[in-house]
Structure formats: C-alpha cells, structure tokens
Amino acid sequence: MKFLNFQIYKKKFVYEGVDMDSIDIKILDCLQVDATLSVSEVAKQVGLSTSPCWNRIQRLEQAGIIRGRVALLDAESLNVRVTAFVSIRTNQHSATWFEKFSKAVSSFPEVVEFYRMSGDVDYLLRVVVPDIASYDEFYKRLIEHVDLTDVSSSFAMEEIKYTTALPLDYAVA
C-alpha cells in the first residue's frame, strides 16, 4: 500500500463537526485504493487496533465523508468502449425546465457524470456507450425529452488517466 506524504497532515481538519486527523486521512487513502480491505487490514496499515479503526470508519461514513463503497468495473469488458463528453447549452433557465432536464438526463444509464457549468457551456455530461451508433441513439433520445439550444459532443480517443481517488492533501485546515 502506497500512502501519500503525510508529513503535511499535522493539523486537524473539521468536516461538518467531525474532527479528522492524519490517521483518518490514512484510512481514507487505504479505502480509496481498495475498499475491499478488511477492517483489520486497514487497522494494521494505519497503526491502530481493529475496534478503534472500525469506529473511525463508521464515524467517517456517518459524517458523509465516505459516501459509499463500490466496485470499479472495466468498461471494455462491459462493451462500453466509447466515452463522449457532451457539452449542452440552453436558453432555458427556469426551475421547471431544469427539473425536467435533470430528471431526463439522470434517467439515462449511459450518463455516468452530469455537471452544471460556468462559462459558455451550461451542462457537461460524460456518456459511455459501445460505439458511435449507440451514441447517436442516445442523442436522439435525449433531445426527445428536453428542448436544448446546442449540443456538442467530443469523443475520447485515449484514456490517459482515470481515477476515482480524491486528493487528500487538501483535507487539512
């Protein structure tokens, strides 16, 4: 297990009433790398006994710092080899329109990320599909559900870096 440089974690960080210290950060680092680790293995790696480690993990989960534990799947093995980044602009900015748009976009399993943006683009989606024809079908279904001003898609040619691990360097006050 490779940990980050924890020399910077000398202060405590308070997140919504939860004090975090360098051991909590180490626990988060362990679980980001491999959420299947047993509590006893995490405890060993961070220098705690099992019960205090379990209590810390529970506290981090209850505080919402650990939002869930998931399996990361291989996109190619599941035949979703094409990643499209979809930029959406609209001239609709009412709460009613946004609710309809958000509900529609969230209903598409191909949409794996969905952001409201600043700047020239109003919304950005990351969409995964098997091929360009499947993307075209997705696009047609999307525009059936909501009125959009402009939709622009870019397709990833190569995945250079992909991680779900968040940087923990900023978790200090």
Distance of alpha carbon 93 from alpha carbon 98, whole angstroms: 7
Residue 101 vs residues 36, 80, 116, 167, 173: alpha-carbon distances, Å: 36, 24, 11, 31, 37
Q: Which domains does the chain have, with CATH numbers?
A: 6-62 (1.10.10.10), 82-155 (3.30.70.920)
82 token code pair: 């094409």
37 token code pair: 């680790």
* Per-residue pLDDT, 18: 72
Q: 152 and 111 in contact (C-beta within 8 Å)?
A: no
Average pLDDT over residues 159-168: 94
Average pLDDT over residues 161-173: 86
Distance of alpha carbon 28 from alpha carbon 67, whole angstroms: 11
pLDDT tens-place string over residues 99-115: 999 999 999 999 999 99
**Could you tell me which residues come within 8 angstroms of residue 95 by beta carbon, excluding any fewer than 6 positions away?**
none
Q: Would the pLDDT of 11 be above 70?
A: no
Q: 116 and 96 in contact (C-beta within 8 Å)?
A: no
169 token code pair: 């360097």
Average pLDDT over residues 114-123: 97
pLDDT tens-place string over residues 72-107: 999 999 999 999 999 999 998 899 999 999 999 999
Query: Average pLDDT of the chain?
Result: 90
Q: Would the pLDDT of 158 be above 60?
A: yes
Task: Give percent above pLDDT 70 in the chain.
Answer: 89
Distance of alpha carbon 3 from alpha carbon 105, whole angstroms: 37
Distance of alpha carbon 90 from alpha carbon 105, whole angstroms: 14
Distance of alpha carbon 151 from alpha carbon 117, whole angstroms: 14
* Per-residue pLDDT, 7: 37
* Per-residue pLDDT, 1: 39
What confidence tier does 27 reach under pLDDT thresholds 50, 70, 90?
Answer: very high
pTM: 0.83
Q: Would the pLDDT of 161 be above 60?
A: yes
What is the gyration radius of the CA atoms in the chain, in angstroms? 20
* Per-residue pLDDT, 115: 98
